[in-house]
Amino acid sequence: MFQFGDSFMTRREKLWRVAPDCHWKMGSLASTLRPMIGYILTRALSLCLSLVVASVVIFAVIEVIPGDPAAFMLGLNATDENLAALRSELGLDGSKLDRYLAWVGGMLTGDFGTSYTYRVPVTELILDRLWVSLPLAAYALALSTLLAFPIGIIAAATRGTVADYGIMGATQLGIAIPNFWFAMLLVLVFAISLRWFSAGGFPGWEDPGAAIKALTLPAFALALPQASILARVMRSALLETLDQDYIRTARAKGLSRRQAILRHALKNALIPVLTIIGLQFSFLLAGAIIIENVFFLPGLGRLSFQGITQRDLIVVESVTMLLVFAVILVTFLVDIAYALVDPRLRRR
């Protein structure tokens, strides 16, 4: 009996000893999660407000564009009765407030309306074009990252040398060159002179090799300025990290500058670089309208451009709103990821 009671008391004492430690860990976890949840809710509220403001601005600006979609569709010989009937069919006879509320309500349910020109749901048009714009943005981002990382690392490793100055000059030139001019130069060299690529068009994803080949020149045209920006950010982040005390300690223990960069500085310099990469993806998705028109790619940018020329207002509004949502969403996710890494942001 004594042994059983002693064993029972020992277990009880162990439980009492463990309990305060468990309470401390739970309290520490709660104190960590509380500011993070508050930060996420604050950023989510900011995202929603940004989307509301963006929808109002987009609708107001596009409605100001001169030209009547019904008159554009029917031509110069249209009668007043035909114009009134078409406006009623397209929903253009209502007040601007009613049209805005109907447009926003439809987007919340996944219904972007019907195209004035193509007479098909705008959702179908967007989904078809998204399979061009999304791979193009991802391809350009991959090329930008593959170019920028080694260039930025080499520039940081050779700080103050001729190679460093040459790389920084080249990246400045890459930022200054307009991407549409660079796109036309690529077409002139690789499509017309060398005939390695086609000058434009998209064959579809039935042949993945041909599709990727058709996106190569546009992706390079988009990637050049982004790679230049990313390389400069990588160099600055690495140089800032190399000035830290732990890097000096590693160098004092015999590590070369190259070893210190690859083993210690690189992973700590990736936080601002990854932030820029996330923002670049949304920019590449939303900012490819000129490149898509240069290469005649059936993407979201070209769809938006055609909607403007054809006065297809519902298409222009929906595509623009979708691209704005993509930019704001990626920015929101980048902010959350950055807050997970840097606790100081949660307390702001």
CATH of residue 216's domain is 1.10.3720.10
- 24 in a structural domain: no
Give the separation between CA 282 and CA 284, rounded to whole angstroms: 5
Tokens found for residue 4 = 């059983």
Report phi then psi at 297, rounded to 5. -90, 130
Asked if residue 157 is part of any domain, the answer here is yes
Q: Is the Cβ–Cβ distance between 335 and 279 less than 8 Å? A: no
Does a structural domain hold residue 315?
A: no
- Long-range interactions of 243-247: CB distance < 8 A, separation 24+: 244/268
C-beta of residue 100 within 8 angstroms of C-beta of residue 268: no
* Domain membership of residue 260 as a residue range: 122-309
Residue 245 lies in a domain: yes
Q: Is position 302 within any domain?
A: yes
Asked if residue 135 belongs to a domain, the reply is: yes
Longest Cα–Cα distance in the chain? 108
Rounded CA-CA distance 310/218 in Å is: 25
3-state secondary structure 38-83: HHHHHHHHHHHHHHHHHHHHHHHHHHHCCCCHHHHHHCCCCCHHHH
Task: Per residue of the chain (348 residues), give pLDDT as tens.
Answer: 444 444 444 554 544 454 455 444 445 545 556 666 777 788 888 888 988 898 888 888 877 666 667 766 766 677 777 777 777 776 777 778 888 888 888 888 888 888 888 888 888 888 888 899 999 999 999 999 999 989 988 888 888 889 889 989 999 998 888 888 899 999 999 988 988 988 888 888 888 999 999 999 999 999 998 999 999 988 888 888 777 777 777 777 777 766 777 676 777 777 778 778 877 887 888 777 888 888 988 988 888 888 888 888 888 888 888 888 888 888 888 777 776 666 555 555
Amino acid (one-letter) located at 285: L
Domain count along the chain: 1
Residue at 255 is within a domain: yes
In a domain, 51, yes or no: no
State how far the Cα of 10 lies from the Cα of 299, in Å rounded to an integer. 71
- For the record, the structure tokens of 218 come out as 């546009």
